[in-house]
């Protein structure tokens, strides 16, 4: 599938619809969120670090999940018709960096939360946390896995393209770990929006993974039927860098 781009005549309409959607979301959620924060600041100001920790944790999860989903969209070439591959690949990389950075801030804020005090060792060492150590530890391991994947973007030439592609399987482990951490160690997962955030992200990853495997199997079957055979054997989940 080659890049075609979207019709430039629809640019104003597209950006206008996007602006309207953002405005609706802000109008519906922002007043309630501000009111809740003000009430917490007045009644229990010591809980503000906890609120900030959970908020940053969710934002980190959204970025990590977005990076995984974007990587799968790259591997299926779904985005190639509307966006240049170098642009989409850069966004895939940037989302991983944002998720990693926000996860680091999430960890630092844990040290400021007096409700469940975390020492530096408990923040850094997996499974040493004073609160739900197993599932917090899974989140810590997921953070380190994201760091490994992100580092591989910058070491691709040194480690080789094959090793770099294999390392991308770690992304799935990081996503599973981050999801399990959010659901089983969070104290606000029972809220509808939080639960459905995890569900929708998981459904998207499972669907795109199954779709990628299906089209890879079909392509190999078609090549075998024609007698040509695939020129290069690759993993059905391969995410290729631009120009590779």
Tokens of 163: 């090793």
Q: Which pLDDT does position 207 carry in this prediction?
A: 92
- Taking the CA atoms of residue 45, residue 47, residue 48 and residue 51 in that order, the dihedral angle to the nearest 10 degrees is -150
121 burial type by CB count under 10 A (0-12 exposed, 13-18 middle, 19+ buried): exposed
User: Is residue 141 a contact partner of residue 177, using CB atoms and an 8 Å limit?
Assistant: yes
Distance CA 243, CA 195 (A): 39
Distance CA 53, CA 221 (A): 49
Q: Which pLDDT does position 141 carry in this prediction?
A: 93
Q: What is the pLDDT of residues 80-93, one digit of tens each?
A: 666 666 667 788 88
Q: Which pLDDT does position 166 carry in this prediction?
A: 82
pTM above 0.85, yes or no: no
Q: What is the mean pLDDT of residues 89-114?
A: 85
What value does the CA radius of gyration of the chain take, rounded to a whole number of Å? 21
Q: What is the pLDDT of residues 217-235, one digit of tens each?
A: 888 888 888 765 555 545 5
164 burial type by CB count under 10 A (0-12 exposed, 13-18 middle, 19+ buried): buried
Distance CA 89, CA 71 (A): 8
86 burial type by CB count under 10 A (0-12 exposed, 13-18 middle, 19+ buried): exposed
């Amino acid at each position: 599938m080659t890049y075609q781009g979207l019709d430039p005549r629809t640019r104003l309409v597209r950006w206008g619809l996007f602006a309207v959607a953002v405005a609706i979301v802000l109008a519906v959620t922002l007043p309630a969120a501000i009111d809740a924060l003000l009430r917490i600041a007045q009644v229990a100001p010591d809980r503000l670090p906890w609120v900030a920790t959970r908020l940053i944790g969710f934002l980190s999860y959204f970025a990590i999940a977005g990076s995984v989903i974007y990587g799968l969209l790259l591997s299926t070439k779904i985005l190639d018709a509307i966006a240049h591959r170098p642009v989409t690949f850069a966004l895939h990389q940037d989302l991983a960096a944002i998720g990693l950075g926000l996860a680091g801030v999430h960890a630092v804020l844990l040290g400021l939360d007096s409700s469940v005090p975390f020492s530096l060792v408990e923040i850094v060492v997996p499974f040493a946390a004073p609160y739900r150590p197993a599932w917090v530890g899974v989140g810590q391991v997921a953070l380190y896995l994201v760091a490994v994947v992100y580092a591989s973007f910058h070491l691709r030439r040194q480690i080789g393209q094959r090793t770099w592609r294999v390392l991308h399987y770690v992304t799935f482990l990081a996503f599973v770990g981050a999801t399990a951490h959010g659901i089983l160690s969070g104290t606000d997962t029972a809220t509808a929006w939080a639960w459905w955030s995890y569900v929708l992200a998981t459904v998207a990853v499972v669907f795109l993974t199954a779709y990628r495997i299906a089209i890879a199997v079909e392509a190999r079957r078609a090549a075998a039927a024609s007698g040509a055979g695939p020129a290069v054997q690759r993993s059905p989940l391969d995410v290729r860098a631009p120009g590779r």
